[in-house]
Amino acid sequence: MEVGAVRLTLEAVLRVSRGCPVVLSEDPGFRARVEASRAFLGDLLREGTEVYGVNTGYGDCCTVAIPHELLLELPRQLTRYHNCGLGRFLDPEETLAVLLARLNSLAQGYSAVRFELLEALAALINHRILPRIPAEGSVGASGDLTPLSYVAAVLMGEGEALRDGAVVPARAALEEAGLPVLELAPKEGLALMNGTAVMTGLACLAYQRAEHLSRLACRLTALSVACIQGNREHFHPRLSQLKPHAGQGEAAAWIYADLGGGDAGALRLQDRYSLRCAPHVIGVLRDALPWIRRDLENELNSANDNPLFDGEARLMLHGGHFYGGHVAFAMDGLKVAVANLADLMDRQLALLVDTRYNNGLPGNLSGAQAARAPINHGLKAVQIGSSAWAAEALKLTMPASVFSRSTEAHNQDKVSLGTIAARDCLRVLELTGQVAAALVLATLQGLELRRRQGVPALERLSAEALAALAEMGAGFPFLEEDRPLDTTLRALCADLQACRWSLYP
C-alpha cells in the first residue's frame, strides 16, 4: 500500500489492518514537502521564534519557555507522562489501522517531522511490531494523546509491543527486527501524539463492518420473509420510486431480488413492520454511509496535529486540527443506525420463534420429533440472548460527542470525545453482529423446517440467496436435539466481523 502521494481510502485501511504491507511513495514532491516542513522548523528555531510544543510547554503550559539545553528531552517527557492509559488493549487489526492513520497524517508533509520517523512508523506496520495501546484515556482533543503516546514509546524503545502473538519489550522487538531505536527530535513527540489517528483508525474499521452488516440485514430479511411465508410485494420497485430515499430503495431492491426465485403466495396482506418496513430501517444506514465515508476519508487524509508548518509557503500555523468532531459525529450517527438493525433483526427473530406469528413453524423452531418435543426447546435461549444483545446495543446509543468535559486546566475546555464514540460504535457493531448470528441460525433452522413440512419456502429464494444460505450454514447441522450453540454463534460472529460472507455486488 503506497503512502505519501496518494489519497487513502477506507478500504486501504482495511487491507493494511489485515496484513497488507506499506511502502512510502517515491514521488519526489512528497519527500521534498516533508523535508521542507522540517527544514522550516529548523530555521524558526535558529531565529529564536517561539514554537508551541517545541520550545514551550504543552497545553496550558504553553507560556512556559523551555531552555535550549532541554529541547531534546521534551518529546520524551511528553511521551512518558502520557503513558497512563487503561482499559483493554487494541487488537492487532485496530492497532494496524491506527498506525496507518498516524503515518498517513504525518505523510501529508506539514508536521515538521524527519523522513526517518515516517520510515520508522512504516517499519512497525511491515514488521508487525504492534504497540500495546490502551483503549481508554483520550478525550479526542488535543487528539488521541494518551493512546498515541504508546506508539511514540515503542519507537523510542520503551514499553511493550505485540509481535508474533507474544508481548515483548519494545526495544527487544526493534532489535530483533533490525530496526533502530529513535531519539525523537523536537516536535516529533507532539506530531506523533497530537492527532486523531486512534479514533480515525477505529472508525474506518467500524465503517467497513457497518457496511457489510447493512447488506447482511437485507439478506436475512429476505430469508425471514421466506421462512414466515411473507409478502414479497412489500419490496416492489414501484414502492421505492414513490419514496425515493436511495438507500431505502437499494435495500428493498436487494430483498426483492432475493425473493425472486418464485412466489408461493403470502399468508397475510400486510406483514408486520419488522419485515415490511425493513428497507426503511436499513435504508437509514445505507443513506448515512456516503457522508460518513466522506468525513472519515477527509480526516484520514488530513494533517491533524498542531502546530503545522508549510515549508514551501513558509507558514507556521497554530490551530486545532487535532479536534475529532467529524469523527465523533460520524460514529455517534453510525452507532444509532446500526443499533436500529439490532432491534430490527431481534424483532424478526422473535416472529420466527413464536407460534402466534410464524405461520405454522414449531415453537422456538425446535426440530425435535413429537415424542421428544416436551424436553427440547430449540432456539428459546438464543432468542433471549438476542434480546439481551439488542438491548445493550440500544443502551449504548447515547451520543458521546455531547458529553464534552473541560480538562487540562481549562485549556482543553471543549473536546470531541471522538475516540469514545468510535469505541462505542465498535461495541454496538459487535452486539449487532451477535443478533445477526442468532438470526442466521433461526433462518437456517426455519427454512429447513419448511422443507421438511413440504412448504415451498426455499423455492422462493433466488440462486444468489440460496448460495449465501449454504455459505452461512456450512457449519450448522440441523437442530433436532438441543445442544450448546455458543461455539456456533462465536464462529458466525467471527465470520461476520471479518466480512467473509459473499453478499450483494
Pairing of strands 2-3, 23-24: parallel
Distances from the Cα of 458 to the Cα of 185, 228, 324, angstroms = 65, 11, 48
For the purposes of burial, counting CB atoms within 10 Å of the CB of 302, is it exposed (0-12), middle (13-18) or buried (19 or more)?
middle
Give the number of other Cβ atoms within 10 Å of residue 343's Cβ.
18
Predicted confidence (pLDDT) per residue in 166-207, tens digit: 999 999 999 999 999 999 999 999 999 999 999 999 999 999
Distances from the Cα of 484 to the Cα of 203, 224, 381, 387, 473, angstroms = 34, 23, 10, 18, 16
Q: 2-195 domain in CATH 1.10.275.10?
A: yes
Most distant CA atoms of the chain, gap in Å = 91
Mean pLDDT of 491-500: 90
**pLDDT confidence of residue 60:** 66
Of the chain, the percentage scoring pLDDT greater than 90 comes to: 83
Nine cell digits for residue 495: 465470520
> Does the pLDDT value for residue 414 go beyond 80?
no
**Which residues are CB-contacts of 454 (< 8 A; sequence separation ≥ 6)?**
none
Q: Hey, do 2-195 and 203-314+327-497 end up sharing a CATH topology, with the first three levels equal?
A: no
CA distance 41 to 36: 9
Q: Where are the domains of the chain?
A: 2-195, 203-314+327-497
Cell numbers 431492491 label which residue?
253
Mean pLDDT of 251-264: 89
Pairing of strands 130-131, 86-89: unpaired
**pLDDT confidence of residue 268:** 85
Mean predicted lDDT score pLDDT of the chain: 94
Nine cell digits for residue 444: 437456517
CA distance 396 to 177: 41
Mean pLDDT of 38-52: 92
> Does the pLDDT value for residue 501 go beyond 90?
no
Which helix (H) or strand (E) is 447 found in, with range? helix 418-453
Check: CB of residue 207 under 8 Å from CB of residue 292. yes
**Which residues are CB-contacts of 504 (< 8 A; sequence separation ≥ 6)?**
215, 218, 219, 254, 464
Q: What are phi and psi of 367, to 5 degrees?
A: -100, 10
pTM: 0.96
**pLDDT confidence of residue 352:** 98
C-alpha angle with apex 260: 452 to 264, nearest 5 degrees?
Answer: 45
Nine cell digits for residue 264: 408461493
Place 57 in a pLDDT band, splitting at 50, 70 and 90: low
Q: Is 52 a catalytic residue?
A: yes
What 3-state DSSP class applies to 168? strand
CA distance 271 to 469: 23
**pLDDT confidence of residue 264:** 64
Predicted confidence (pLDDT) per residue in 281-315, tens digit: 999 999 999 999 999 999 999 999 999 999 999 99
Place 9 in a pLDDT band, splitting at 50, 70 and 90: very high
User: The dihedral of CA 461, 463, 465, 467: what is its sign?
Assistant: positive
Predicted confidence (pLDDT) per residue in 120-151, tens digit: 999 999 999 999 999 999 998 888 999 999 99
Of the chain, the percentage scoring pLDDT greater than 70 comes to: 98
Sheet of strand 166-169, all strands in order from the earlier edge strand to the far edge: 130-131, 160-163, 166-169
CATH number of the structural domain 203-314+327-497: 1.20.200.10
One of 52, 150, 256, 323 is an active-site residue; which one? Answer: 52
What 3-state DSSP class applies to 390? helix
**pLDDT confidence of residue 142:** 83
